[in-house]
Amino acid sequence: MRGRLGRVGAAAAMLLVLAMVIGRTAAQTVAAAPCSLAPRIDGVRSPGEWDTAAARPIALKMVDGKGKPGPVRNGELLVMNSRANLYVAFRIPDAARDASLSPISADLAVLSFCRGEELAAGDDKRVVTHGQWADKHLLAPGKDADDTRKDGSAAMRWQAVGGGSSFVEWQIPLKSGDDCDISAASGGRLRFNLMYADKFSATLAETEFACVFGADMDHAKGWGTIALADTTVTEAPAPAPDWIAALLPHTGAPDRLEHRLSRVDATEIEVNGHSGGVATVELSYPGIVGAVEKAQARIFLPPVLAENPGVRVPLVHVAGYEIDDAGAAGLLARGWAVSTIHAHPLNPLGRGVNLDRAVLHAAVRLPFVDPRRVSIQGGSAGGWMTLMLAADAFPLICSLPDVPVVHAGYNADYIARNQIYAAPAPGSDKPRMFFLQAVGSIIDQMKPLYGMPFDGKEALGYSPTAHLETITAPILPVFTTADMLVPIDQVGAEYVQLTAPDQFPSGYSSAMTERIAAHNGARTLLAALPESVRQVEVVKSVPGQARLGPDGSALGAGQPCKPSFSKSKTWSIVILDEGPKEPGVGHFKYAWSIDHELFRAWAMGRGVQPEQLTAPKLARLMKRVLGETWRPFMVKPAGSQKPSSANQLDYPEAERADVLLGLAAYAEDDACAVRLVALYSKLPARLKALGSSLGDGSPASVREALRAPSGGAR
């Protein structure tokens, strides 16, 4: 999402310059009203939401991309605040909903703030279009960047009533703690301006736009002022939409199974002109040393559930990193629900698998989720999380890890030992390897979590290379030869390309040495995977392909890449041949447009196949029921006096319920049920956690046996 809206934001800089042609007007003050009930930030003016806000009619004098005056559009500005949040809404007539990002032709609203007499680097800016928004800050006149942390919320919706209009809503924390956000107290003042662009495009050919206060957006003279209400009120949360509340009704304390997810917030989001939803939920889970921890997650709901709440839909778990509204919108448009962690401060590698595991267990049990159509996806450390979850979960439609960490011990050791070379050279303040230095903070998080040397055998417990035998659903991982953050060395030595000796500081190395722990003699992905289960496709970059710039943004259109995949082998590994590593590279050297959808559509249409259950996979599932870890390892977290066994399981009742639910979903197919019986009969007696047998061997009796144990049914 950030990439797509970033292109809109960058092109919108032209508007900020062109806006200087608009005649200046005297600065105006808008006195915000106190807010006691938060509005739902969904781009819809629901009855009662904004009734107490300060309302000001506005006349926007539109101009086109060449500065030619257009018609006046009479709209409305609404402002209110609580002790902690500012709420701004904006309505403007607009005859049509413009929301294309390829090519760009989108309605766009920009809310900007200025801390001083003139704009300066770090001043807050909020950009919103249909279905997505960005929290940005000013770098220089006409240039901005995304905040590293996204605070607040925003939404824009169009409706056809009365000739058509767009309604925009923002919620902005008064003190988020982010230096690039506003910082104010109730009773204070904020200098601001707001711009709306109708049918914004890169060429401005059909664009009309205007600023609320008539001044240009690159200079704050003539901007308006919000006089914040002096209030100590903490607003009540907005009520959840009825259909979301019905799907996720629990709002009490979260428990360990039946009411695992407690809804704390919910709102509607636009999905291609329809109403989807997103609920923020709270849950508890056992941490790596077993202590109970609390966190939040988000459950995205496709529009089909608003229209037909009785259906069951596929679930995509976005692993590791949080996906935002716009990122989820494409999945929601296909009719899929999405689960993801929410607002966790640590990198996935720095917090471990336990939270994502608990969120996935809880999401699969939701009554509107089809447990036979579950997939997992994620990138980088989220790709590592995807692999770890895929080894644990059952059944799955597929997994999609992009540039995933494969040997977590090697990758952490690589980052840690090369920080000295990534840092600026003596006498310089410019990092020699910017992206590699930037991920050094991940190591700072991993050390107190695991407390063991990364090149030791304990790292195998949280390395996918030691869990590959239980990844049995179709999987499409993508790697690149030039990756400086997840080196190709851990995939296969045959794909490592020699670097120019004078490019890197003396001492830098990405070599997979023998001191890195091996599992069954294998350190790399390809060494650990039998050829019978894998296909490898190499995709070469093309002459003239656009590169990624120093900030990671694409310096041109991405090269299309539609990976091939095997229909008979579990692993379809894609390696992008970008040439050797270079110091200025992050994950990718070149811009790519990777299309996973052919693979995903094939996997979804194919469904869960009998061969997804293997003897090792079933043994792992039974160990989960028995409370046993598949690859035990020790940890010595910060503050611990001695090592202890790492907890890599959810609550016992949640583990049992998830296994039973998964096996029951698998056994809905007769051929799958027969395979389950055959594999179960061959388990050692100690691992037959569901009894000595599963029925009389017939598919119907297997299904009955899986329903019988307590906790098996939803």
pLDDT tier, 13 (very low <50, low <70, confident <90, very high otherwise): very low
For 656, the enclosing helix (H) or strand (E) is helix 652-666
CB 81, CB 32: distance < 8 Å = yes
Q: What is the mean pLDDT of residues 54-73?
A: 91
Q: What is the mean pLDDT of residues 188-193?
A: 96
Predicted pLDDT of residue 142: 80
pLDDT tier, 2 (very low <50, low <70, confident <90, very high otherwise): very low
Digit-coded pLDDT (tens) for 287-298:
999 999 999 999
Predicted pLDDT of residue 221: 87
Residue 653 has pLDDT above 50, yes or no: yes
Token pair listed for 27: 């600065």
Residue 257 has pLDDT above 70, yes or no: yes
Q: 196 CB contacts (<8 Å, ≥6 apart)?
A: 60, 90, 92, 107, 108, 109, 110, 166, 168, 209, 210
CATH class of the domain at 2-227: mainly beta
Predicted pLDDT of residue 552: 86
Digit-coded pLDDT (tens) for 130-153:
888 999 999 988 889 999 888 999
Residue 1 has pLDDT above 60, yes or no: no
When mean pLDDT is compared across 250-264, 382-396, 696-710, the lowest value belongs to 696-710
When mean pLDDT is compared across 214-218, 318-322, 373-377, 608-612, the lowest value belongs to 214-218
SS3 385: helix
Digit-coded pLDDT (tens) for 199-210:
998 888 899 999
Predicted pLDDT of residue 201: 86
Would you list the domain boundaries of the chain? 2-227, 613-707
Average pLDDT, the chain: 93
Token pair listed for 223: 């901007």
CA distance 681 to 683: 6
Q: For residue 303, is the peptide bond before it cis, meaning its omega torsion is within 30 degrees of 0? A: no
Percent above pLDDT 70 for the chain: 95
Please, what is the Cα angle at 587 between 584 and 589, to 5 degrees?
Answer: 55
The model's pTM: 0.86
Q: What is the mean pLDDT of residues 641-648?
A: 93
Predicted pLDDT of residue 708: 76
Residue 4 has pLDDT above 70, yes or no: no
Q: In what order do the strands lie in the sheet with 274-286?
A: 262-271, 274-286, 292-301, 337-342, 313-318, 369-379, 398-402, 478-480, 571-577, 534-540
The 10 Å CB-count burial string (b at 16+, else e) for 294-316 is: ebbbbbbbbbbbbeeeeeebbbb
Residue 30 has pLDDT above 70, yes or no: yes
CA distance 190 to 180: 14
CA distance 388 to 390: 6
Q: From the CB of residue 203, how many other CB atoms can be counted at a distance below 10 Å?
A: 12
Digit-coded pLDDT (tens) for 487-519:
999 999 999 999 988 999 999 999 999 999 999
Predicted pLDDT of residue 354: 98
Q: Which of 445, 424, 423, 436 is nearest to 349 (CA)?
A: 445
Q: What is the mean pLDDT of residues 621-628?
A: 98
Q: What is the mean pLDDT of residues 31-52?
A: 94
CB 245, CB 266: distance < 8 Å = yes
When mean pLDDT is compared across 6-15, 104-113, 324-333, 511-520, the lowest value belongs to 6-15
One-letter-per-residue 3-state SS of 2-17: HHHHHHHHHHHHHHHH
pLDDT tier, 86 (very low <50, low <70, confident <90, very high otherwise): very high
Q: From the CB of residue 342, how many other CB atoms can be counted at a distance below 10 Å?
A: 19
Q: What is the mean pLDDT of residues 665-683?
A: 98
Predicted pLDDT of residue 341: 97
Predicted pLDDT of residue 286: 98
DSSP alpha helices (H): ranges in 667-708?
670-681, 699-707
Q: What is the mean pLDDT of residues 568-594?
A: 97
Q: What is the mean pLDDT of residues 151-177?
A: 94
Predicted pLDDT of residue 14: 45
Handedness of CA 141, 146, 150, 154 (dihedral sign): positive
Predicted pLDDT of residue 427: 95
CA distance 375 to 201: 35
Q: What is the mean pLDDT of residues 641-655?
A: 95
The amino acid present at 563, given as its one-letter code, is P
Predicted pLDDT of residue 709: 57
Predicted pLDDT of residue 712: 36
Predicted pLDDT of residue 215: 60
Q: 27 versus 240: which is more confidently predicted?
A: 240
Q: What is the mean pLDDT of residues 117-127?
A: 95
When mean pLDDT is compared across 95-109, 218-232, 240-254, the lowest value belongs to 95-109
* β pairing state of 571-577 and 634-635: unpaired
Predicted pLDDT of residue 245: 97
Q: From the CB of residue 29, how many other CB atoms can be counted at a distance below 10 Å?
A: 9
CB 279, CB 268: distance < 8 Å = no
Percent above pLDDT 90 for the chain: 83
Handedness of CA 486, 488, 490, 496 (dihedral sign): negative
Residue 312 has pLDDT above 80, yes or no: yes
Token pair listed for 570: 């579990």
User: What DSSP state is assigned to residue 30?
Assistant: E
Q: 708 CB contacts (<8 Å, ≥6 apart)?
A: none
Q: From the CB of residue 500, how many other CB atoms can be counted at a distance below 10 Å?
A: 9
Predicted pLDDT of residue 24: 39
Q: 433 versus 205: which is more confidently predicted?
A: 433
CA distance 452 to 447: 7
